[in-house]
């Protein structure tokens, strides 16, 4: 379904103008209060620390004691995100702004890739609605402004799908080999970014090839694509897991560190349908997409290989979520794909209903525009007034951390106790660090004894984490408290 009703040049120019407005809105939402909203937090901290150490000391790891580093192999965001941030630090210096501006670039590139993919598939008008849905979707900024792997991974995935779509030219002679190279490289980089992309994209590609058997991927073209996809994964293994044992890699990426039983976890996540609107939204968008795919399949309409891969990925992510710890970001990539393909799905479903049920064609074709416009306006309202990002526009966490460390005497030996995000704001090297991500994933555990030995002058922690300290707490008193942090000094 392409937008033939938008063939008028004036209308096209209007759509292009509105698309430019959407990108300007995205720039505003991405950059506004960049260093404070969302507040820095634990997962972001370990990624930034790895980039900081890489830029300053050429070490791809985390410091747990002065001149002692451990592998970042347990960190589930890898070099496609860490390397660009390290480069930013190398050029512009270390800071939260320098880290997050890289994420803004990733976010805008992600929006552009999504827009170009749908434009290639369905035309200008449908692409405009897809772009409007994701620009107005608050979690894009909640997950995208933080230094995390979801948005970069989606950018790389959508870029791969875009080049896969470009290979589906009707003229075999115009299927340039560079498209297969680019599609493979972007797919490999996406899989190297986070485990969710490694697992689900590899599954989607294999399943897609088996189901669709695309004739444009036979022979040399397939081997070029596969080889280019494997190359970034080999770099991922060499860089991210350098020196790690195979058992540790498997445990960190695919283990169950908190020992959550599977069936109760699935049951608990299933109950989120009654508590979490985001999961319901995902399910409804996925249902519309599934219905559209089924009707097109039965009508023998052409479905692009790129869309088949995206659909399999989204379905797999939806069902895989129920076995996870239940955070919304665990289904976010699949949800985004379902939202990107929601406009073409709705347009097709309404057209199909019009022809099958002999309903007034003009009225039924107007319906998706009405539904999508209402949804977009509602999402903009949520993003501006009632989102996690909007709720934290008044946060001063980064400023407070920066101020505290700016007056901390340089000769003080510091312990960061389970708050890795605070290390970014500390310019010294004489520090110890302990981090607990799960019962079986505790980094720097051996350094906690330095508290009992009174080797540490000050401890930066949180109230929640301080309560877990079993030995040595009596040697320290509360010095300062701000935001969620507590500072203890040696008595």
**Domain residue ranges of the chain, discontinuous segments joined by +:** 4-391, 397-490
Enumerate the H helices of 358-476 as residue ranges.
Answer: 361-385, 388-391, 397-406, 449-452, 463-466
Whether the pLDDT of residue 256 is over 90: the answer is no
* Average pLDDT of the segment spanning 175-189: 93
pLDDT at position 366? 86
Query: With contact defined as beta carbons under 8 Å apart, do 133 and 372 qualify?
Result: yes
* Average pLDDT of the segment spanning 73-87: 95
Q: d(Cα 346, Cα 344) in Å, to the nearest integer? A: 6
Q: d(Cα 472, Cα 284) in Å, to the nearest integer? A: 53
Per-residue pLDDT band at 253 (split at 50, 70, 90): low
Whether the pLDDT of residue 4 is over 80: the answer is no
Whether the pLDDT of residue 242 is over 90: the answer is no
Residues in a beta bridge with 62: 70
Q: Quick one: what percent of the chain has pLDDT higher than 90? A: 76
Weakest mean pLDDT among 160-164, 307-311, 426-430 = 426-430
Query: With contact defined as beta carbons under 8 Å apart, do 140 and 151 qualify?
Result: yes
Per-residue pLDDT band at 120 (split at 50, 70, 90): very high
pLDDT at position 8? 75
Element (H, E) at 211: helix 195-212
Neighbours of 482 (CB within 10 A): 13
Alpha-carbon distances of 28 from 98, 140, 145, 379, rounded to whole Å: 17, 13, 12, 16
pLDDT at position 216? 85
* Average pLDDT of the segment spanning 263-284: 91
Nearest to 347 by CA among 156, 95, 130, 75: 130
Per-residue pLDDT band at 246 (split at 50, 70, 90): low
For 286-340, what is each residue's pLDDT tens digit? Answer: 999 999 999 999 999 999 999 999 999 999 999 999 998 889 999 999 999 999 9
Element (H, E) at 109: helix 96-122
Whether the pLDDT of residue 383 is over 70: the answer is yes
| CA–centroid distance for 424 within its chain | 21
pLDDT at position 1? 56
Q: What is the mean pLDDT of the chain?
A: 92
For 25-66, what is each residue's pLDDT tens digit? Answer: 999 999 999 999 999 999 999 999 999 999 999 999 999 999
Token look-up 């689900």 returns 200
Edge-to-edge strand ranges of the sheet holding 458-462: 441-443, 431-438, 414-417, 458-462, 485-490, 476-482
Neighbours of 12 (CB within 10 A): 15
């Amino acid at each position: 379904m392409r937008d033939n009703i938008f063939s008028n040049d004036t209308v096209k120019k209007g759509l292009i103008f509105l698309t430019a407005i959407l990108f300007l809105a995205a720039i505003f939402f991405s950059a506004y209060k960049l260093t404070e909203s969302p507040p820095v937090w634990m997962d972001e901290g370990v990624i930034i620390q790895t980039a900081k150490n890489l830029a300053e000391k050429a070490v791809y790891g985390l410091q747990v004691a002065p001149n002692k580093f451990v592998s970042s192999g347990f960190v589930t965001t890898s070099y496609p995100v860490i390397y660009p941030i390290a480069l930013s630090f190398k050029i512009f210096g270390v800071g939260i702004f320098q880290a997050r501006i890289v994420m803004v670039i990733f976010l805008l590139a992600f929006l552009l890739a999504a827009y170009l993919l749908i434009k290639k598939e369905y035309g200008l008008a449908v692409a405009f609605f897809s772009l409007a849905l994701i620009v107005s979707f608050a979690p894009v900024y909640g997950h995208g402004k933080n230094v995390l792997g979801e948005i970069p991974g989606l950018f790389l995935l959508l870029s791969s799908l875009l080049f896969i779509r470009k290979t589906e030219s009707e003229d075999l002679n115009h299927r340039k080999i560079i498209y297969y190279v680019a599609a493979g490289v972007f797919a490999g980089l996406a899989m190297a970014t986070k485990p969710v992309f490694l697992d689900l994209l590899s599954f989607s590609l294999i399943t897609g090839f088996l189901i669709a058997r695309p004739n444009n991927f036979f022979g040399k073209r397939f081997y070029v694509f596969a080889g280019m996809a494997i190359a970034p994964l080999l770099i991922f293994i060499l860089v991210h897991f350098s020196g790690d044992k195979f058992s540790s890699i498997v445990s960190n990426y695919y283990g169950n560190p908190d020992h959550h039983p599977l069936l109760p976890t699935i049951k608990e996540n299933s109950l989120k349908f009654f508590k979490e609107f985001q999961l319901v939204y995902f399910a409804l968008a996925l249902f519309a997409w599934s219905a559209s795919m089924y009707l097109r399949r039965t009508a023998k309409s052409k479905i692009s290989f790129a869309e088949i891969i995206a659909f399999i990925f989204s379905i797999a992510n939806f069902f895989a979520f129920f076995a996870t710890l239940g955070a919304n970001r665990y289904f976010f990539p699949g949800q985004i794909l379902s939202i990107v393909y929601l406009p073409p799905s709705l347009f097709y479903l309404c057209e199909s209903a019009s022809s099958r049920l002999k309903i007034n064609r003009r009225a039924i074709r107007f319906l998706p525009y009405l539904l999508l416009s209402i949804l977009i306006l509602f999402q903009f309202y949520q993003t501006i007034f009632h989102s996690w990002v909007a709720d934290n526009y008044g946060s001063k966490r980064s400023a407070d951390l920066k101020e505290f460390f700016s007056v901390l005497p340089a000769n003080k030996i510091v312990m960061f106790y389970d708050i890795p995000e605070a290390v970014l704001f500390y310019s010294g090297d004489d520090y110890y660090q302990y981090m607990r991500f799960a019962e079986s994933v505790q980094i720097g555990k051996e350094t906690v004894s330095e508290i009992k030995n009174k080797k540490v002058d000050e401890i930066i922690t949180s109230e929640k984490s301080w309560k877990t300290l079993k030995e040595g707490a009596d040697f320290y008193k509360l010095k300062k408290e701000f935001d969620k942090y507590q500072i203890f000094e040696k008595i």
